[in-house]
């Protein structure tokens, strides 16, 4: 069965993954300070879930992978699609990372449901099945998954004070996504503006492919903003209070969060490569990974660093 698309669904977004890594690092600070794990006592902006086996040592050396999913959920929705899908590989020894941008219409095997667009996995079985489908496609284990919806994304960007983004292509989609930006111009994006940027596809040369690549670019910009902010003690505590109240964690321990957050802060954005996976026409409206995909996935899987791509 193919899960049909809702015609009025807003475009996909992301930007959350490294913002979430920021959130995790701040929550870690709260854990260290108070000795307890914060529980969401307000609207949940994002959820961090352990979906596989993983154990971080105090000084992790081996590459690891986690999935970031922007879902199309609205208030009250119980079934959502994974419409912004980004697999992030981190190499702790090299202090480097690679983001694989996976277009939502990529055809893939959904365990237990045959072949479908990869974003259908979220609707069939939640974030755990979405992670399983991406893991099978790329060939890497995915122990952690992060997801957020439209409202959570906007609130999170606003909660960290916005993100500076230098737009690399003109955008003029006032009636669709609402994105109107000039190439080469730097914008300080609040949540609403960031959502417009991450949703835009109708006026871009490659449509959804360019949108997916732009989402990955926003993730890198978010990490750069984190390092630029240098919050200091007072600002950090304020951010902890804000983000900790809106975070839901499932299956993660305090040591997991501590090591994950510390590792996130060690990555310089200049050492993060953003790569759109190679896709072309497939069956029906599905996209198919091209012949170059196998080599790219192997290059990514061995150490999360792209040597040849």
- What's the CA gap between 253 and 4, in Å, rounded? 37
Share of the chain above pLDDT 90, in %: 40
Mean pLDDT of the chain: 78
Q: What is the pLDDT of residues 130-176, one digit of tens each?
A: 999 999 999 999 988 888 878 888 887 887 788 899 999 999 999 99
Residue 218 belongs to a domain = no
Range of the domain at 137: 16-160+230-303
| Average pLDDT of the residues in 174-203 | 94
Instruction: Output the pLDDT for position 78.
Output: 64
Find the mean pLDDT for residues 203-217.
93
* pLDDT tens-digit readout, 12-47: 233 334 444 444 444 444 444 444 444 445 566 667
In-domain check, residue 146: yes
Structure tokens given for 286: 């599905």
Is 114 contained in some domain? yes
Domain membership flag for residue 75? yes
What percent of the chain shows pLDDT beyond 70? 68
Q: For residue 199, is it within any domain?
A: no
**What is the C-alpha to C-alpha distance for residues 24 and 226, in angstroms, rounded to an integer?**
12
Q: Model confidence at 225, in pLDDT bands (50, 70, 90)?
A: confident
Statement: residue 11 has pLDDT above 80: no
Residue 291 or 72, more confident: 291
Count of domains in the chain?
1
Q: Is the pLDDT of residue 123 over 70?
A: yes
- Say if 118 falls within a structural domain: yes
- pLDDT surpassing 90 at residue 246: no
Output the pLDDT for position 173: 95
Instruction: Return the CATH number at 234.
Output: 3.30.420.590
Q: Give a yes or no: residue 183 inside a domain.
A: no
Domain presence at residue 213 = no
- For 101-110, the pLDDT digits (tens) are 999 999 999 9
């Amino acid at each position: 069965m193919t899960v049909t698309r809702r015609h009025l669904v807003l475009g996909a977004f992301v930007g959350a993954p490294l913002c979430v890594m920021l959130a995790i690092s701040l929550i870690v600070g709260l854990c260290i300070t108070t000795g307890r794990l914060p529980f969401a006592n307000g609207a949940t902006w994002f959820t961090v879930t352990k979906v596989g086996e993983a154990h971080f040592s105090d000084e992790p050396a081996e590459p690891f992978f986690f999935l970031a999913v922007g879902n199309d959920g609205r208030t009250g929705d119980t079934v959502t699609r994974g419409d912004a899908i980004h697999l992030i590989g981190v190499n702790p020894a090299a202090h480097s990372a690679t983001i694989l941008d996976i277009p939502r219409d990529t055809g893939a095997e959904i365990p237990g449901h045959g072949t479908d667009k990869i974003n259908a996995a979220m609707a069939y079985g939640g974030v755990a099945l979405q992670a399983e489908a991406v893991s099978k496609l790329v060939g890497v284990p995915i122990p952690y998954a992060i997801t957020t919806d439209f409202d959570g994304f906007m609130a999170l960007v606003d909660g960290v004070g916005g993100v500076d983004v230098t737009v690399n292509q003109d955008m003029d989609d006032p009636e669709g996504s609402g994105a109107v930006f000039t190439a080469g111009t730097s914008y300080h994006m609040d949540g609403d503006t960031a959502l417009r940027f991450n949703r835009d596809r109708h006026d871009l040369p490659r449509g959804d492919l360019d949108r997916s690549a732009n989402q990955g670019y926003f993730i890198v910009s978010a990490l750069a903003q984190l390092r630029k902010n240098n919050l200091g003690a007072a600002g950090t505590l304020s951010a902890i209070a804000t983000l900790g109240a809106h975070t839901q964690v499932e299956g993660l321990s305090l040591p997991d969060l501590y090591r994950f957050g510390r590792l996130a802060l060690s990555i310089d954005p200049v050492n993060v490569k953003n790569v759109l996976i190679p896709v072309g026409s497939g069956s029906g409206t599905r996209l198919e990974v091209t012949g170059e995909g196998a080599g790219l996935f192997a290059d990514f899987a061995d150490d999360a660093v792209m040597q040849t791509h």
